[in-house]
Structure 1
Amino acid sequence: MSAADRREMLDRGDETLSVRRQCALLGVARSSVYRPDRPANDNDLALTRRIDELFTAWPFYGSRRLTATLRAEGGLVTRRLRRHDGCRALVRRA
């Protein structure tokens, strides 16, 4: 179950369990409960879409090769965004 799904299970109105205890039981950080999610900006969405296109075309590309490809296309990208996307290169490990 993802952290977002577990976060939705929290019941702030529960009088028997505090939010702190619910977070501990669900394995969710309290800071993520109190802080609202940041909306995604349009540049990140466009870049994520392009990363998906490249990764679908070349699934064996790692984060460094994808970063180099995007920079060659004129995009400003960091490896942080690539790693955050969750894609991993399909390579055979020895």
Structure 2
Amino acid sequence: MWREPGHPELSIRKQCGLLGINRSSLYYRPVGVDDYTLLLMHELDRQYTETPFYGVLKMTEHLRSLDHRVNPKRVRRLLRQMGLEAVYP
């Protein structure tokens, strides 16, 4: 690692300044995807395979018909994350 937490002369703040990184990046731990989100992504993928012309609103409507409480913003984010977009004529 480029920084030394217990360095006698340089504080963490100064070390980060010299490296040109934010201190918050030292403490950030990425969070994995939870099981429910994976379930939604699986269902979106399955439905996209059947109906690639469904957009965000139709996909949201489909998930709601399966009793998932989702809003269009979440569906849009998941579709973007999966690299899926509607096929238009």
TM-score normalised over the length of structure 1 = 0.61
**C-alpha deviations, 1:8-27, integer Å up to 9, x for none?**
xxxx5178x6142xxxxxxx
Q: Does 1:36 align with 2:25?
A: no
Partners of 2:74 and 2:34 in 1: how far apart?
A: 13
Give the percent of matched residue pairs that are identical in Structure 1 and Structure 2.
24
Change (3 A) 1:40 1:60: same
Q: What does residue range 4-83 of structure 1 map to in structure 2 within 5 Å?
A: 12-13=1-2, 18-20=19-21, 30=22, 33-34=25-26, 35-83=28-76
For structure 1, the residue ranges without an aligned partner over 5 or more in a row are 1-11, 21-29
Q: How many pairs align?
A: 71
For structure 2, the residue ranges without an aligned partner over 5 or more in a row are 4-14
Q: State the one-letter code of the partner of 1:57.
A: E
TM-score normalised over the length of structure 2 = 0.64
The structure having more radius of gyration, on CA atoms, is: 2
